[in-house]
């Protein structure tokens, strides 16, 4: 067992004293993970276009435009826009749900005999 592991090993089952908890907090810092960087809604929206199927639809829209079938071209672009919007909204809601579900209360013991 390393020296750091021995120093930070859990206390007896009776818990830490307030003084020991404060000493560990001062020495090692808070017992928490850094907050991950959350992607913005625009980044999630742009990420929706990173798919081979989307590239095929974009190519089809461009071919429709070149052939003069403007209604088909506009329809394909609208479907792609709607798809990306729904995907971005869904991804953002999922991200918010996951981050809120990771926060949960815990019970601690201090100065127990």
Long-range Cβ contacts of 26-30 (<8 Å, 24+ apart): none
**pLDDT tens-digit map of 85-94:** 999 999 888 8
CA–CA distance, 93 with 86 (Å, rounded to integer): 11
Give the integer Cα–Cα distance in Å for 103 and 96. 12
Q: Is 108 domain-assigned?
A: no
Overall average pLDDT of the 86-104 stretch? 81
Are 12 and 49 in a shared domain?
no
Question: First CA to last CA across the chain, in angstroms?
Answer: 28
The confidence score (pLDDT) of residue 1 equals: 43
- The reported pLDDT for the residue numbered 99 is 73
Same domain, 54 and 88: yes
The per-residue pLDDT for range 8-65, each reduced to its tens digit, is 555 455 667 888 888 988 998 887 777 778 788 888 888 888 989 999 999 999 999 9
pLDDT at 83: 93
Structural domains counted in the chain: 2
């Amino acid at each position: 067992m390393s020296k750091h592991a021995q120093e930070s090993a859990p206390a007896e089952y009776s818990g830490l004293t307030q003084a020991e908890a404060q000493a560990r907090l001062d020495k090692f810092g808070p017992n928490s993970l850094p907050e991950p960087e959350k992607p913005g809604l625009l980044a999630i929206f742009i990420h929706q276009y990173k798919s081979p199927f989307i590239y095929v639809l974009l190519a089809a829209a461009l071919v429709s435009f070149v052939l003069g079938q403007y209604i088909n071209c506009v329809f394909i672009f609208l479907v792609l826009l709607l798809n990306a919007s729904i995907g971005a909204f869904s991804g953002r809601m999922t991200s918010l749900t996951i981050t809120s579900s990771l926060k949960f209360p815990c019970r601690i013991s201090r100065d127990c005999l």
